[in-house]
Amino acid sequence: MAQPDHKKFFENLSGAGKAIAVLTSGGDAQGMNAAVRAVVRMGIYVGAKVYFIHEGYQGMVDGGDNIEEATWESVSSMLQVGGTVIGSARCKEFRTHEGRLKAARNLVQRGVTNLCVIGGDGSLTGANLFREEWSGLLEELVQQGDIDAEAAEKYYALHIVGMVGSIDNDFCGTDMTIGTDSALHRIIEVVDAIMTTAQSHQRTFVLEVMGRHCGYLALVSALACGADWVLIPEMPPEDGWEDQMCQKLSENRADNKRLNIIIVAEGAIDNNNKPITTEKIKDLVVQCLGFDTRVTILGHVQRGGTPSAFDRILASRMGVEAVLALLETTANTPACVVSLSGNQSVRLPLMECVQMTQEVQKAMDEKKFEEAVKLRGRSFENNLRTYKLLAHRKTESELPHSSFNVAVLNVGAPAAGMNAAVRSAVRVGISEGHTMFAVNDGFEGFYNGQIKEIKWGDVGGWTGQGGSLLGTKRTLPAKHIEKIAEQMRKHNINALLIIGGFEAYLGLMDLLTARGKYDEFCVPMVMVPATVSNNVPGSDFSIGADTALNAITNTCDRIKQSASGTKRRVFIIETMGGYCGYLASVGGLASGADAAYIYEEPFDIRDLQANVEHLTEKMKTSIQRGLVLRNENSNENYTTDFIYQLYTEEGKGVFDCRKNVLGHMQQGGAPSPFDRNFGTKISAKAMQWISKKLKETYRQGRVFANTEDSCCLLGMRRRALIFQPVMQLKDETDFVHRIPKEQWWLKLRPLMKILAKYKTSYDVSDSGQLEHVVRNRPKESDASAI
């Protein structure tokens, strides 16, 4: 992959002579420390001075030791720490003109004119007001004799870039705010634990989650655990909801379901804007149904704990993006927030986002709830639509009349989130009027006739289970095409949904090729990528990869901690992924690795030697631990053992070495909230596509689909979920090494190197450009994975 010109980067974006200050304000959120670390290290990397402002705006007003110059080492070992180590406080004084005047004086005294604010909409609004008043504040300071006219002229403009740190995900303009994914992890951990005890005693649990004005956490956790009922501020239940809820709980018990889960946002209201409390729901269930009911209020548990891999990567990317945005600002550039849209970094005018966020609350106050949902953005709208689709079972009379049979199967290695995808496909298919069939053990089970009808209740409780409950094998269909065609004919299968990894992709191509000989395969066929390796062409993400990343990140945290208080130590860790370096690279970024060796970026003995020397230099300072990741197939000669022995020998007298092969623990475990949600939504979209194609291709009493666009892979590309004909993906595929020829995450590798103190080139061409907040994006861009 061609590297951008290093000198050109520094000519255009040098931070020499500039001072950047970073603060966290308002409520804390997991991942804030990763953002602070990225701002500090990227700032120092480009030659700027970087300052911590302790205790948020209070520290800016008080000055003194609260504004402290940051060093490279001062942000070591904070990536995995929850909350914010530089402190956060709500500051009444900053809301006054006198308070802002003091803050301006404290910044000018240190030459700071670039401010990176990590907080919610209140913190960012305050920063924008400060920026607008800046020149007037400097004039006052000159008149009072606190600063001279030369300083006022030199520091005439204040530049602001915001990052949204809020577990509620209540800020318009961004798909995900820093801390939201970690909060979902805390909620799902609790829900999974509660489910086991609820099942034992046949209990109903009412859970209250945070979200005074925004129901995102409640909605997504309900989607991720398959809750029976959810109550959120943006969608008050219709009159008579009490009877409907009790009827639903009663029906589920009649279906042999031993537990009920009801999730309530703390700001949940009814149609008359009256609060709906957990106690009210508990009393209702006990009085109407007599069920043993318990209430659990999660509270500040949701804010605590270590940040998830997603939040660490998001915060690191946003922190680097914030520094780039500050270096590119001029006096006329509006204050902006850096955020995420789909998989893409974007910059949005701060006040446009704030105004739109305030409009949501206004719409809710005026009971315009549909408008409030739309204003929340496509991610929220898509989550709500999917929840409604899956949670409420239609009666026979409500179901559309359809005589189509749709089969779903898992192919390849197991991946966490596969079961959530199957559950979603089955329930959406049934809602669309289809008869759903489950194929056990992949294509092997297909040609052996392991096919049976699967009903709505059969997939209850599947979302939280790891592995593949249908069973999955790596067997390809090419040698058994005739037997598979026979089974298709026998069960009258009209469409196929394949959930799996690279084998599923190859298998789909085999079925497409077989269309020339067997009409049975002239039906709509779609694949949803599910593999921990994330190596399927046509998609930036695969179901299961996020769970594997979290397993790697959590293990790396523990491994590094095992060396605390001992002598200097470097850990060599081998990850899975075949020839795809996604897990090693992105896992390295999330766990603060010093190097990650992958097949896609060839390396030789000189690179290994340079890495050892680099680590030796770092170890001579206050850094005590080093972390090196290696993808299992990165190089056939430079094995994990070889690298371990090399580091051991070359590091003698400075550090010692340990090695770990993570192995199949990366494939196991309960799926992360991201994988449950991504699997649920992408599978629902795939089933809706199948329904559409079945209608289009049904002619003269039969389904006949033989065009390229009737055999697709549904993948996430940058900001959108896109159906791509598999034939068109052939040219994008390296079939020998089972990887796509181009991979988006390679652009994150320089970022990992910069944060590990390597001098490297950084391609700024993919950095976010200033856009405007779009209210109604096209439907096809319903892409956000969470």
Terminus-to-terminus CA distance in the chain, angstroms?
30
Beta carbons of 320 and 183 less than 8 angstroms apart:
no
For strands 336-341 and 159-164, give the pairing. parallel
- Token pair 């004086």 is at which residue? 105
For residue 566 the two structure tokens come to 């001992």
Q: Is 739 helix (H, G, I), strand (E, B) or coil?
A: strand
For residue 244 the two structure tokens come to 């409907």
Beta carbons of 530 and 410 less than 8 angstroms apart:
yes
260 to 295, 299, 388, 400: CA distances (angstroms): 12, 21, 17, 28
> Residue 664, Cβ neighbours under 10 Å: how many?
10
Q: Cα 270 to chain center, whole Å?
A: 31
- The number of CA neighbours under 13 Å toward the Cβ of 517 is 10
Beta carbons of 544 and 417 less than 8 angstroms apart:
yes
| DSSP-assigned letter for residue 645 | H
Q: How far apart are CA 472 and CA 717, in angstroms?
A: 26
Beta carbons of 172 and 356 less than 8 angstroms apart:
yes
Beta carbons of 568 and 620 less than 8 angstroms apart:
no
Query: Between vectors from CA 584 to CA 579 and to CA 589, what angle results, nearest 5°?
Result: 145
Residues 6+ apart with CB under 8 A from 594: 570, 611, 614, 615, 618, 626, 627, 628, 756
Question: Which letter, b or e, does each residue of 186-204 get, where b requires 16 or more Cβ atoms within 10 Å of its Cβ?
Answer: bbbebbeebbeebeeeebb
Q: Is 136 helix (H, G, I), strand (E, B) or coil?
A: helix
H or E segment at 127? Answer: helix 121-144
- The number of CA neighbours under 13 Å toward the Cβ of 123 is 29
Query: Between vectors from CA 32 to CA 164 and to CA 76, what angle results, nearest 5°?
Result: 150
- Residues pairing with 722 in the sheet: 715
Active-site option among 28, 121, 168, 675: 168
- Token pair 């697709």 is at which residue? 712
- Residues pairing with 407 in the sheet: 437, 496
Sheet holding 569-575, edge to edge: 595-597, 625-631, 569-575, 656-661
Handedness of CA 380, 223, 466, 781 (dihedral sign): negative
Q: Is 35 helix (H, G, I), strand (E, B) or coil?
A: helix
Q: How far apart are CA 39 and CA 320, in angstroms?
A: 6
Beta carbons of 529 and 616 less than 8 angstroms apart:
no
Going by C-alpha positions, the residue among 536, 545, 515, 481 that lies closest to residue 724 is 536
Residues 6+ apart with CB under 8 A from 607: none
Q: How far apart are CA 160 and CA 174, in angstroms?
A: 18
168 is catalytic: yes
Phi, psi (deg, nearest 5) at residue 49: -85, 140
- Residues pairing with 49 in the sheet: 19
Residues noted as catalytic? 168
